[in-house]
């Protein structure tokens, strides 16, 4: 209760949810003693695949006996997920203590919720300043609150596509602008660029990075991977090849994110990551709400033996990789979907055409910025069976399932969190 009260207060320190600037975070961090200056970091920017990449790095570092601090957003089930110190998710009492101290030092100054949480992460991380910090950039990067660190082992650029365009000027809502925002201010260290949606995006990233004199490690130039038979995949870079077991994440598309993580760690020689650390780590990746199969729980019981998945994909690029995976499953498919208001709704659903048997839209509870399920239903065109139910539970109960059908909860990380908490 006391943790929720302080979070409620922090949300009221700025009239806007997002106000792209670095001035407020720099001012607060200066009051905090600039804890971000002493952190050894790996930065992760991009549109899709950031969490899978980060969790792969975390798993490999753990296998190597290297302790890490992890900062990600948003959280899925509870805010503690954003604050991982010394390999462990922070406990309520410790998080309350950190936030209380930061709130007192901030002394009521105007600052956004994400900015003060980011400052709080840096402040907490100074206790573990010998650890590797893996930091996810938020909305964009150039004016993102995380973009004030000074010691960077490497920056990873995951797949880039259209998302959050409502925060850009109307005439600049393009992939080109997003690439500029995410890549133009990367620190000079090492830059690892993951597999991109198309050649055009890759070429635009290369152009944006042209004046950055970091070592640049592009997928298919300095590292690559291929699927093998008998449940393994083959990774190769300038340091040699690795025959690796398939990771414990669902979907071959995850191999792109996992390979980017491997390329990053093999290029940070100070860490001394060995082959066996990689082999062990990629089979122990912890990831929730990202194409996660649900095998038990209250809501799982409704669909009985049918397979149930939850996935927080929420933009067209996410829909593409998700439907590519669905293409590998030969059964009837039903999706239950809730989304935020500012997403590209019809473009998202276009990827599901001719690939699913039914859509049921739902409301996302306690999310004022979400689109009502009935309004989302009325926006969707090109599908025969689109239904609306007010809740996930009612949606699951309404499905006319046959043996072997699969059900997917998707459209938003917030919906994924709601589902997991209810289940």
Span 305-316, pLDDT tens digits: 999 999 999 999
pLDDT at 385: 85
The tens digit of pLDDT for each residue in 87-112 reads 999 999 999 999 999 999 999 999 99
Cis peptide before 49 (omega within 30 of 0): no
What predicted TM-score, i.e. pTM, was given to this entire model? 0.95
pLDDT at 162: 73
Average pLDDT, integer, range 161-187: 83
The neighbouring-strand residues paired with 406 are 307, 333
pLDDT at 229: 80
Q: Which of 35, 44, 214, 215 is nearest to 131 (CA)?
A: 35
pLDDT at 1: 77
The residue with greater pLDDT, 354 or 229, is 354
CATH for 2-281, options being 2.30.40.10, 3.40.980.10, 3.20.20.105, 3.40.1190.10: 3.40.1190.10
pLDDT at 340: 94
Give me the chain's average pLDDT, please: 94
In this prediction, what percent of the chain has a pLDDT beyond 90?
A: 86
pLDDT surpassing 70 at residue 167: no
Query: How big, in percent rounded to 5, are the helix, strand and coil portions of the chain?
Result: 40, 20, 40
Q: Identify whether the C-beta of residue 53 lies closer than 8 Å to the C-beta of residue 149.
A: no
Burial class (CB in 10 A: 0-12, 13-18, 19+), 138: buried
Helix residue ranges, H only, 34-174: 50-63, 92-106, 113-125
Alpha-carbon gap, residue 250 to 408, rounded angstroms: 13
Average pLDDT, integer, range 101-130: 96
* Residue spans per domain, the chain: 2-281, 292-422
The neighbouring-strand residues paired with 244 are 233
**For residue 334, how many C-alpha atoms fall within 13 Å in the half-sphere facing its CB?**
25
Please state which CATH class domain 292-422 belongs to. alpha beta
Q: Which of 212, 266, 219 is nearest to 239 (CA)?
A: 266
Alpha-carbon gap, residue 187 to 199, rounded angstroms: 24
- Split at pLDDT 50, 70, 90, the class of 165 is low
In this prediction, what percent of the chain has a pLDDT beyond 70?
A: 99
- Split at pLDDT 50, 70, 90, the class of 183 is very high
Q: Identify whether the C-beta of residue 412 lies closer than 8 Å to the C-beta of residue 313.
A: no
Close Cβ partners of 65 (under 8 Å, ≥ 6 residues apart): none
């Amino acid at each position: 209760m006391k943790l929720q009260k302080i979070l409620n207060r922090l949300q009221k320190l700025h009239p806007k949810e997002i106000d792209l600037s670095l001035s407020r975070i720099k001012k607060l961090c200066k009051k905090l003693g600039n804890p971000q200056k002493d952190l050894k970091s790996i930065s992760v920017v991009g549109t899709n695949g950031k969490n899978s990449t980060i969790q792969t790095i975390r798993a490999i570092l753990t296998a190597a006996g290297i302790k890490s601090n992890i900062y990600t957003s948003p959280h899925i089930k509870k805010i503690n997920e954003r604050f991982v110190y010394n390999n462990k998710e922070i406990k309520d009492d410790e998080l309350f203590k950190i936030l209380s101290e930061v709130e007192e030092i901030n002394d009521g100054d105007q600052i956004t919720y994400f900015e003060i949480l980011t400052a709080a992460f840096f402040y907490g991380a100074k206790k573990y300043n010998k650890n590797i910090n893996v930091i996810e950039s938020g909305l964009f990067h150039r004016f993102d609150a995380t973009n004030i660190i000074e010691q960077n082992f490497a920056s990873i650029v995951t797949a880039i596509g259209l998302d959050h365009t409502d925060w850009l000027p109307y005439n600049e809502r393009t992939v080109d602008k997003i690439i500029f925002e995410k890549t133009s201010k990367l620190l000079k260290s090492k830059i690892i660029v993951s597999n991109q949606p198309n050649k055009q995006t890759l070429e635009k990233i290369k152009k944006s990075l042209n004046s950055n004199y970091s070592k640049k490690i592009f997928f298919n130039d300095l590292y690559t991977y291929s699927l093998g038979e008998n449940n393994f995949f083959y990774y190769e870079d300038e340091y040699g090849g690795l025959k690796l077991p398939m990771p414990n994440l669902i979907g071959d598309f995850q191999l792109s994110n996992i390979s980017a993580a491997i390329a990053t760690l093999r290029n940070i020689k100070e860490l001394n990551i060995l082959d066996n650390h990689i082999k062990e780590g990629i089979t122990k990746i912890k990831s929730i709400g990202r194409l996660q199969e649900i095998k038990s729980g209250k809501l799982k019981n409704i669909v009985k033996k049918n397979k149930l998945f939850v996935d927080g994909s929420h933009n067209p690029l996410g829909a593409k990789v998700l439907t590519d995976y669905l293409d590998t499953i030969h059964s009837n498919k039903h999706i239950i979907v809730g989304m935020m208001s500012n997403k590209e709704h019809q473009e998202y659903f276009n990827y599901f055409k001719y690939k699913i048997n039914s859509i049921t839209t739902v409301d996302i509870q306690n999310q004022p910025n979400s689109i009502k399920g009935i309004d989302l239903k009325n926006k969707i065109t090109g599908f025969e069976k689109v239904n609306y139910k007010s809740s996930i539970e009612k949606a699951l109960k309404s499905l006319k399932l046959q043996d072997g059908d699969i059900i997917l909860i998707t459209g938003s990380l917030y919906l994924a969190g709601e589902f997991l908490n209810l289940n």
